[in-house]
C-alpha cells in the first residue's frame, strides 16, 4: 500500500523537472495535473516559468496530456493555452482517467510519466499503472477543503514511513 504512495521523484516546482533526464529514461509522454501543478488553485494566471518549461518540453518533442478532476471547461481552456491534450475521462486516482490519457498520448508504461501535486490522486494513480511518478509542491496554499483533508492524511502517512 505505502509503496504505491511513493513518488519516483520529488521537486519544488514543475519547472524544476529535468526534461533531459526524462528523455534519458526513455520518457517522452507526460500526464500532468492542472490545479496547483500547472496553475495556482482556483486562479487563471499562467506562471511564466511554468509556461517556458512546457514550451521547452514541446521543443524537445514531449507530448503532454492534462488529467484533472477540475471542470472540463477549465481543463480545455488551459489545455489550449499550453498546447496540451485533454484526457477524456476524469476521476483520479481511478486508472480509467490515466488510461484514457495514455490512449490520447499513444503512450505506454515505459515512456510515460505522471506529474502532480497530490499523493492520493496523482502519485497513487500513476504508480498503479507502473508509470514514472513525480510529485511537485503545490503552487498555491489556497486549496479545496477536501484537498486539505488529504494533506493531513499525507502527512500522517509520511510520518509513518520514516524508520
Ligand atoms: Mg493538483
Distance from the alpha carbon of residue 135 to the mean position of ligand 1, in angstroms: 10
- Is the pLDDT at 77 greater than 90, yes or no? yes
d(C-alpha 95, C-alpha 84), whole Å: 20
Domains and CATH numbers, the chain: 2-161 (3.40.50.1000)
End-to-end CA distance of the chain: 16
Distance 156 CA to ligand 1 centre (A): 19
8 Å CB contact between 90 and 68: yes
CA of 140 to the centre of ligand 1 (A): 10
The pLDDT tens digits of the residues spanning 4-33 come to 999 999 999 999 999 999 999 999 999 999
Q: What is the pLDDT of residues 99-153, one digit of tens each?
A: 999 999 999 999 999 999 999 999 999 999 999 999 999 988 655 556 666 777 7
pTM of the model: 0.87
DSSP 85: E
Amino acid at each position: 500500500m505505502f509503496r504505491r504512495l511513493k513518488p519516483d521523484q520529488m521537486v519544488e516546482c514543475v519547472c524544476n523537472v529535468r526534461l533531459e533526464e526524462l528523455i534519458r529514461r526513455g520518457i517522452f509522454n507526460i500526464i500532468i495535473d492542472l490545479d496547483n501543478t500547472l496553475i495556482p488553485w482556483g486562479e487563471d494566471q499562467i506562471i511564466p516559468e511554468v509556461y517556458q518549461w512546457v514550451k521547452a518540453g514541446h521543443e524537445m518533442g514531449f507530448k503532454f496530456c492534462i488529467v484533472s478532476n477540475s471542470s472540463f471547461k477549465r481543463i480545455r481552456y488551459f489545455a489550449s493555452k499550453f498546447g496540451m491534450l485533454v484526457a477524456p475521462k476524469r476521476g483520479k486516482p481511478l486508472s480509467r482517467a490515466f488510461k484514457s490519457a495514455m490512449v490520447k498520448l499513444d503512450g505506454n508504461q515505459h515512456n510515460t510519466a505522471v506529474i502532480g501535486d497530490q499523493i492520493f490522486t496523482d502519485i497513487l494513480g500513476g504508480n498503479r499503472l507502473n508509470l514514472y511518478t513525480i510529485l511537485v509542491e503545490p503552487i498555491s496554499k489556497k486549496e479545496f477543503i477536501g484537498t486539505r483533508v488529504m494533506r493531513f492524511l499525507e502527512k500522517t502517512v509520511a510520518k509513518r514511513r520514516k524508520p
